[in-house]
Structure 1
Amino acid sequence: MTAILLNKKDIALYLLSLCFLSGYSQGNKTIWFHSLKKEFGLPSNSIFSYFRDSRGFLWLGSSGGLCRFDGASVRYYYAEKENPRSIDSDVISGLLFEDGDNDIWFSSNQSILRSAVLGLKKSNI
């Protein structure tokens, strides 16, 4: 068996060439961005958290409520004191996770809530 001994300079040159090749292998990919702002339908430009669910919706927790972006438009959920199925606070500080029933769990200033496919409902936690 023949052992190949490499010095530090050869190893560094080899690693450097791998860095250049990895960028080359990516090819020309086009990346598209949407800039979501208050003018587009967000209740606030202050976004505290975001989460993409299994259906592709992007959920945004903001200082003005909860938003669901479908790639074309924003649906806005806000606190309504007269409606027990609405969120309890307009400040949504965290989007936590999606459970097996496709409900999104999120936190407001006052409680932990979960979404439902049609409308929102408050959890018994």
Structure 2
Amino acid sequence: MSDRMSIGDAARHLGLEPDTLRYYERKGIVPAPTKDSAGHRVYTETQLHLLEVLLHLKSTGMPMVKIAAFTRLVASDPDGVPERLDLLRDHREQVIQEIESWQHSMRVINRKIEDYNQRLGGHGPQ
């Protein structure tokens, strides 16, 4: 990866559309990137790393309001770790609870598959 990326390159790198990055920026969910002399958005490696973290938070169910709060904490005090740490620890607990719930659901599903396979005489699809 180069030191700086256009919005198109950054979006491809992140698996998003450029419009999604613009939307997140307008809503205050992600910080505004720097702009070049022509006024085009330019993403640095540091900004891309933050975006990747934010996308992981989103994919694990963190509400956009909390993601925006995390972003504001980063922007207001890059060295202000305690508040971000608390936010991440709280979210981690929610993710752990969700994983445990999914694991329980998976056990129920597996039991039902076993049950139905037995009803079919063990000849059904696994």
TM-score under structure 2 normalisation?
Answer: 0.28
Q: Larger % of helix: which?
A: 2
For the pair shown, the structure with the greater C-alpha radius of gyration is 1
Higher relative contact order (CA 8 A, sep 6+): 2
